[in-house]
Amino acid sequence: MDAYELLSDFRARGIRLIPNPPRLTVEPASRLTDVDRAAIRVAKSELLRLLMADGFHDHEEDEIDRVARDDGWRPPTEIPPAIAAKIKCIEPRALALGWSPGRLWNFAFWPHRHDEPRGLASVINEGDRIVEVFADHIVIEKNDIRKVRQTFWRFES
């Protein structure tokens, strides 16, 4: 498993790697297996490079993700299959860039609780196209007459 896949796997399992050159901090470290620790040692320099490329971490968003994980957050089942397929295609890259599952999969446009992030699934339509995924935003081409490009930001103001 290369560093990119390792990082995606950890993020999908709710394990955060925080760059602190020349070290990596793991939260929660208790979730790591011996195999995970060995993989980190092998890929450490590449993991640091990938994590430093993100360059931006929002601690408020991290807290939202923590609360969502602690509450057992799961992707909603009411997402139309065409939208779910679009998100699944970009999910590994988005997770590797620091996006939380909630920011991708939450389907409610107005969250029911203050700590639920509005998700990409709430703003994309079946005919829309995801153009590019960045650490802080996702570019969406809306399927309308004008082919307008919309930006979905990772961190809402």
The domain locations on the chain are 3-54, 61-153
pLDDT band, very low/low/confident/very high, at 3 (cuts 50, 70, 90)? confident
- How far apart CA 137 and CA 140 sit, in angstroms, is 10
pLDDT band, very low/low/confident/very high, at 66 (cuts 50, 70, 90)? low
Per-residue exposure over 55-81, b if at least 16 CB sit within 10 Å of its own CB, e if not: eeeeeebeebbbebeeeebebeeebee
How confident is the model over 46-51, as a mean pLDDT?
Answer: 82
pTM of the model: 0.49
- Could you report the per-residue pLDDT of 138-154, keeping only the tens digit for each? 888 888 766 677 777 77
